[in-house]
C-alpha cells in the first residue's frame, strides 16, 4: 500500500456522516484536514491518507463514548464506495477471484495497511499487517478493515458470510460481544496476528453476479485509475497540482521549491528520483490546460497567450511537440 496515493473521498464522506449522526458538525469532523464541506461532497473529490486518518482521529477524540467506531465505519462500506474496483469485485467469478483482485488494487481501497492471504484445505486467512498503521489509530483501522471485509463479502456473495475466526493483536475490547451480533463471531484478542478466516469451501463457488466481460472491462479501468493516481503522488504530484493552480502562468522552479519549503536543487533531485523533471511536468500541465481550453472553443492565439507564448507559431510548435499534432488537428468537441 502506498499512503501517498490519493483516493476518492467516498470513505471519508462516510466517516463524516457517522460523526454527524452522533451530534458533530461536519466542520468538527474535518478539523485539521485542510478540507471544507463543499470540497468533500464534490463528486470528483479526492483526498490523501493523512486527511482521512485525521478524520478518524477527530471522531475518536470527539466521540469517546461511542464504542466500536471503527467497526461501525467498516460495516458502512459498500462495493459502490470503492467505485470501479467494487464493480470489478462484484462481477468476479468467485470470492477467491474477488479477493485476489482487491489485493492487486489495494491502493484504490481504504485499508491503509498491508493485506495478504494464506490458505489450507480448511480455510483462507486474510492477514492484516498493522505495523505501518499509526499507533493511535491501530484499533480503529483494524476494526474498520474487519467490518469492511464482512460487509463487502455480504454484498458479493448475496448472503451473510460465515466467518470461521476473527483475531486481533490488541487486548480485548469492551464491546467485544457486539461482534457476535454484527458479524457472527466473537474475536480472539491479544492474538499473534490480525486475521479474518473464511471457510475454504465458499471460495470457489460461482458468484451470483459474475460476468467475465464486465470484470475485464472494470479491471482495465482499475489499472488505468491506479496508474493515474500513482503519477499524481509524491513530490511530482505536489508540483503538478501547484502548476495547475497557476492557471497557465508557469512559476520558476525556485519559486515552486520555496512554496514546498525546499531548495531548487532538492526539488530537482526528488523529481529525478521519481522519474520526471520540472520541465516535463510543466509541459504536461500546459498540454492539459491547452487541450481543455481548445475543447472549450478558445482560439489558438488566446490559448497560446494564456500559456505564456508571445507568438501563436511558438505555441503551435510546442503543442505539436507535446501531442504529435497541431492544435488545428485535434478532434473537435461536438456542439449541440
Parts of the chain with a pLDDT under 70: 1-4, 231-233, 247-248, 329-336
Are 30 and 173 in a shared domain? yes
Residues 299 and 189 in one domain: no
For residue 228, is it within any domain?
no
Give yes or no: residues 134 and 254 share one domain: no
The CATH number of residue 121's host domain is 3.90.1520.10
pLDDT of residue 203: 95
Based on the fold, state whether residues 63 and 163 are members of the same structural domain: yes
Domain contains 334: no
Answer yes or no: is 19 within a domain: yes
Three-state secondary structure of 34-69: CCCHHHHCCCCCEECHHHHHHHHHHHHHHCCCCCCH
What digits encode the pLDDT tens for the residues 290-306? Answer: 887 887 778 999 999 98
Domain membership of residue 128 (yes or no) is yes
290: domain CATH number is 1.10.10.60
Question: How many domains is the chain partitioned into structurally?
Answer: 2
**Residue 2 lies inside a defined structural domain of this protein:** no
In a domain, 278, yes or no: yes
Residues 124 and 244 in one domain: no
Q: Which domain, by its residues, includes 64?
A: 7-223
Q: Do residues 207 and 290 share a domain?
A: no
Residues 44, 160 within the same domain: yes
What's the grid cell of residue 296? 472549450
Pair 24, 122 in one domain: yes
Whether 156 and 19 map to the same domain: the answer is yes
Asked whether residue 276 falls in the same domain as residue 317, the answer is yes
Residue 258 resides in a domain: yes
Q: What is the pLDDT of residues 64-110, one digit of tens each?
A: 999 999 999 999 999 999 999 999 999 999 999 999 999 999 989 99
Residue 34 located in a structural domain: yes
Q: 123 with 200: CB under 8 angstroms?
A: yes
What is the spatial distance between Cα 115 and Cα 256, in angstroms, rounded to a whole number? 37
- pLDDT reported for residue 242: 80
pLDDT digits (tens, 9 = 90+) for 161-189: 999 999 999 999 999 999 999 999 999 99
Q: Which of 242, 244, 237 is nearest to 307 (CA)?
A: 244
Judge if 196 and 295 occupy the same domain. Answer: no
Contact criterion met (CB below 8 Å) for 1 and 113 = yes
Amino acid 30: pLDDT = 96
Same domain, 217 and 268: no
Closest CA to 250 of 314, 307, 322: 307
pLDDT of residue 333: 42
Amino acid at each position: 500500500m502506498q499512503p501517498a496515493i490519493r483516493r476518492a473521498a467516498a470513505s471519508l464522506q462516510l466517516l463524516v456522516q457517522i460523526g454527524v449522526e452522533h451530534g458533530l458538525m461536519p466542520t468538527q469532523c474535518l478539523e485539521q484536514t485542510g478540507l471544507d464541506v463543499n470540497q468533500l461532497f464534490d463528486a470528483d473529490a479526492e483526498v490523501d491518507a493523512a486527511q482521512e486518518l485525521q478524520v478518524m482521529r477527530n471522531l475518536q477524540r470527539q466521540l469517546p463514548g461511542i464504542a466500536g467506531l471503527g467497526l461501525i465505519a467498516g460495516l458502512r462500506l459498500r462495493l459502490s464506495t470503492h467505485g470501479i474496483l467494487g464493480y470489478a469485485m462484484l462481477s468476479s467469478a468467485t470470492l477467491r477471484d474477488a479477493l485476489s483482485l482487491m489485493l492487486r488494487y489495494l491502493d484504490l481501497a481504504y485499508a491503509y495497511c498491508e493485506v495478504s492471504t494464506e490458505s489450507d484445505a480448511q480455510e483462507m486467512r486474510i492477514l492484516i499487517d498493522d505495523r505501518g498503521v499509526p499507533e493511535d489509530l491501530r484499533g480503529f483501522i483494524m476494526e474498520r478493515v474487519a467490518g469492511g471485509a464482512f460487509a463487502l463479502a455480504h454484498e458479493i456473495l448475496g448472503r451473510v458470510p460465515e466467518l470461521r475466526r476473527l483475531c486481533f493483536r490488541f487486548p480485548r475490547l469492551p464491546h467485544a460481544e457486539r461482534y457476535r451480533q454484527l458479524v457472527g463471531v466473537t474475536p480472539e484478542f491479544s492474538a499473534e496476528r490480525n486475521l479474518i478466516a473464511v471457510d475454504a469451501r465458499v471460495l470457489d463457488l460461482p458468484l451470483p453476479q459474475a460476468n467475465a466481460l464486465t470484470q475485464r472491462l472494470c479491471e482495465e479501468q482499475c489499472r488505468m485509475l491506479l496508474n493515474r493516481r500513482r503519477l499524481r503522488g509524491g513530490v511530482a504530484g505536489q508540483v503538478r497540482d501547484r502548476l495547475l493552480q497557476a492557471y497557465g502562468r508557469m512559476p520558476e522552479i525556485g519559486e515552486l521549491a520555496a512554496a514546498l519549503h525546499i531548495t531548487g536543487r532538492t526539488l530537482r533531485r526528488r523529481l529525478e528520483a521519481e522519474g520526471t523533471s520540472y520541465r516535463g511536468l510543466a509541459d504536461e500541465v500546459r498540454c492539459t490546460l491547452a487541450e481543455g481550453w481548445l475543447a472549450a472553443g478558445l482560439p489558438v492565439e488566446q490559448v497560446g497567450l494564456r500559456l505564456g507564448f508571445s507568438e501563436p507559431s511558438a505555441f503551435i510548435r510546442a503543442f505539436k511537440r507535446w501531442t504529435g499534432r497541431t492544435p488545428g488537428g485535434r478532434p473537435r468537441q461536438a456542439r449541440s
